[in-house]
Structure 1
Amino acid sequence: MKEGGDGFVRADQIDLKSLDEQLERHLSRAWTMEKKKEEERGGGRGERQREDWEIDPSKLVIKGAIARGTFGTVHRGVYDGQDVAVKLLDWGEEGNRTEAEIAALRAAFSQEVSVWHKLDHPNVTKFIGATIGGRDLNIQTENGHLGIPSNVCCVVVEYLPGGALKTFLIKNRRRKLAFKVVVPMALDLARGLSYLHSKKIVHRDVKTENMLLDKTRTVKIADFGVARVEAQNPNDMTGETGTLGYMAPEVLNGDPYNRKCDVYSFGICLWEIYCCDMPYPDLSFSEVTSAVVRQNLRPEIPRCCPSSLANVMKRCWDANPDKRPEMDAVVAMLEAIDTSKGGGMIPLDQPQGCLSCFRKNRGP
């Protein structure tokens, strides 16, 4: 890993060709040093010292799966008496990945852990710990003990019973949310992102699916699988990283980008929280990419949306990253909005509805 001019770790680039060789050399040195320490402690009977973010597997109980993703599953669990969510990542499944690919994924995992375990904010999911799977683990489940192969890693975070923000919005798609609910939810997300950016962290996949709700419906940012410490040189942060519909034009176009890509994504999330609808539901990936970049396509803001909120959306999703506000400025704009007079969307079956723009086919 290289460092930028101000000492920030540049973890946004991974050299797949040499990473496995570097990892092998590192593990070899670590194994030699560990063996020497164990011999000094008396015949190799002692345990290696855990990292400050590393969990004690004997305190973890894994329960049923609650979500499945590309690289693994998310389970309910209990760690040291606390309700938790456990993300199990299996990178060598069915032998479909090379050693270099697995090494790259391990490096990305280490980056996720190194980013997450230092964070402390009420709108960021609390990180509890992880294991990096250097050896087989024996973890307790509801049905006994489970041997977890060495290629499986796990991340343990606080369990948030409210589920994903996206799911909550879909449930309210017909009746919509009151304005006095919309703005506080948007503020939760804005404050969390502002905090991340203050720590030089670019999330890179801001979307309502990656935001979770606690039992009081506080929004918390989750899933740092593609989070990166911001590079000092924007040219060092390139590549299409994110989710269709939320990705900024510069990211879609493969251009250099910075934390302002999160601001763009926040603007889309803000529209989604207000409308309880999905952006561009009828367009393909290529259609969205072309229209967002070349035709300045954005979600259509309903006529009933207060100008104070519409202005935040428009400023956040400006095509020019330099014209987008910083997230702390977004927080200030949202805090200044008066919700006492209403301003939320009106369901279709009520008079004075303003949802006519959702009945027509949206597209470029």
Structure 2
Amino acid sequence: MRPAAAPARPSGRQQESQQRPQENQERQRQAPPLTTLRPRRRTELSLPLPNRSPSMAVPLPLPRPSSAPALSSSSGQSPELADLERIRRIGSGTGGTVWMVRHRPTGRIYALKVVYGYHDDDVRRQICREIEILRTADNPFVVRCHGMFDHAGDIQILLEYMDGGSLEGRRISTEAFLAEISRQILLGLAYLHRQKIVHRDIKPSNLLINASREVKIADFGVSRILSQTMDPCNSSVGTIAYMSPERINTDTNHGKYDGYAADIWSFGLSILEFYLGRLPFPETAGKQGDWATLMCAICYSDPPTAPPTASVEFRNFISCCLQKEPAKRLTAAQLLQHPFITRANVNPPLHRPPLF
């Protein structure tokens, strides 16, 4: 019989593996606790943060506007639509209707402009975004926008109520009073133009007055916003009558259109109409006349002028507004320094004439 084999000796590697657990246990007993921190060798060393110029900062995009039905005004929370009571209709047109409304909780009176809802979803969202920007305008000579509602397919804009109504059809033959009205309108226009807002539809019906004789510009920017979706309104004879020549005929000014200068033309034409009591064009080219004749009169006839019975300052003031070349028209800020305006402020009338 073969002798039994002797047990094999563990190899060197096996011996090391058997010794390692014992060594590891010994090291763990001798190692300091984990909560003990090693002291820094050089405490005076630090890692400085890079200096970053604020001008190089890249701002994060603002969040998208909320799709809530009501937008708050900058002066506080917008009144709820359900709290507005319609009192009577104060205006209407192709694009919508304006109502006098009362806020039931406070009794405050507003004007509610209802824009008929025949816009597709993309256009509606654009209108809401742009009106949300326009409502931030804050100037005493611009009608205040207090909020907006998207309800029952209609866009409803809550506006400051002007109890005197619009200046449409009003005659103002007193130059001192006309200068004061012009000054207030120009202050509102200068503000809008500084905010890079072009009105595009300055006319007597968009100039409102209240019992305190404050004149304010209404519908600023709204005509521009709705121009692509309310073509019948913008092509009406009443609106064309106050358009500048280069806006009607784009070839007049080498295809260039300056919206700020166009607002000045419309302003000057409105002021001259107040003085004359009628639109300063031939009757056949008036608001009730032929629109083609009216456009030809605006584009190809000499610009309207104030009559010789008016003062020299007023005639020159109108001339500075109604220049065929847009570059020759004075800006709103420059017109505020015109003698027709400054003279009236230096020598105000001793008594306040009746409104109209």
| 1:226 is the counterpart of 2:231 | no
| 1:318 is the counterpart of 2:335 | no
1:82 aligned partner, one-letter code: R
Gaps of 5+ in 1: 1-25, 32-47, 93-100, 134-148, 229-238, 343-364
1:106 aligned partner, one-letter code: R
User: Which structure would you say has the larger RCO, counting Cα contacts within 8 Å and 6 or more residues apart?
Assistant: 1
Instruction: Tell me the residue number matched to 2:87.
Output: 63
Q: Look up the SS of the partner of 1:310 in the other structure.
A: helix
| 1:196 is the counterpart of 2:192 | yes
Question: Aligned equivalents of 1:126 and 1:120: distance in 2?
Answer: 7
Residue by residue, what CA displacement relative to the aligned partner does 1:38-97 show, whole Å, maximum 9, x if unpaired?
xxxxxxxxxx696434542233222221211112211110134310111112223xxxxx
Instruction: Tell me the residue number matched to 2:274.
Output: 273
Contact kept? 2:305, 2:318, Cα under 8 Å: no
From the superposition, tell whether residues 111 and 273 of structure 1 become closer, same or farther in structure 2 (CA, over 3 Å): farther
Shift in Å, 1:153: 1.7
Residue by residue, what CA displacement relative to the aligned partner does 1:269-290 show, whole Å, maximum 9, x if unpaired?
1211222222323212212222
Shift in Å, 1:328: 0.5
User: RMSD value over aligned CA atoms?
Assistant: 2.8
Contact kept? 2:70, 2:148, Cα under 8 Å: no
1:288 aligned partner, one-letter code: L
2:311 aligned partner, one-letter code: P
Question: Aligned equivalents of 1:124 and 1:91: distance in 2?
Answer: 26
Matches within 5 A, 1:103-142: 103=121, 105-107=123-125, 109-110=127-128, 113-133=131-151
Instruction: Tell me the residue number matched to 2:30.
Output: none
From the superposition, tell whether residues 240 and 87 of structure 1 become closer, same or farther in structure 2 (CA, over 3 Å): closer
Q: Bigger radius of gyration, 1 or 2?
A: 2
Instruction: Tell me the residue number matched to 1:155.
Output: 157
Q: Provide TM-score, normalisation by structure 2.
A: 0.65
Residue by residue, what CA displacement relative to the aligned partner does 1:188-224 show, whole Å, maximum 9, x if unpaired?
1111111110110000000011111111222110013
Instruction: Tell me the residue number matched to 1:52.
Output: 72
Q: Provide TM-score, normalisation by structure 1.
A: 0.64
| 1:182 is the counterpart of 2:183 | no
Contact kept? 1:308, 1:337, Cα under 8 Å: no
Question: Aligned equivalents of 2:348 and 2:207: distance in 1?
Answer: 28
Instruction: Tell me the residue number matched to 2:56.
Output: none
Structure ranking higher in strand proportion: 1
2:208 aligned partner, one-letter code: L
Question: Aligned equivalents of 2:197 and 2:159: distance in 1?
Answer: 19
In percent, how many aligned pairs have the same letter? 25
Instruction: Tell me the residue number matched to 2:247.
Output: 251
From the superposition, tell whether residues 163 and 108 of structure 1 become closer, same or farther in structure 2 (CA, over 3 Å): farther
Question: Aligned equivalents of 2:202 and 2:88: distance in 1?
Answer: 27
From the superposition, tell whether residues 326 and 107 of structure 1 become closer, same or farther in structure 2 (CA, over 3 Å): farther
Contact kept? 1:84, 1:156, Cα under 8 Å: yes
Contact kept? 2:305, 2:315, Cα under 8 Å: no
Instruction: Tell me the residue number matched to 1:214.
Output: 210
Contact kept? 1:55, 1:131, Cα under 8 Å: no
2:145 aligned partner, one-letter code: F
2:215 aligned partner, one-letter code: V
| 1:299 is the counterpart of 2:323 | no
Question: Aligned equivalents of 2:266 and 2:123: distance in 1?
Answer: 25
Question: Aligned equivalents of 1:103 and 1:49: distance in 2?
Answer: 14
Q: Look up the SS of the partner of 1:66 in the other structure.
A: strand
From the superposition, tell whether residues 200 and 215 of structure 1 become closer, same or farther in structure 2 (CA, over 3 Å): same
Q: Look up the SS of the partner of 2:336 in the other structure.
A: helix
Aligned residues: 258
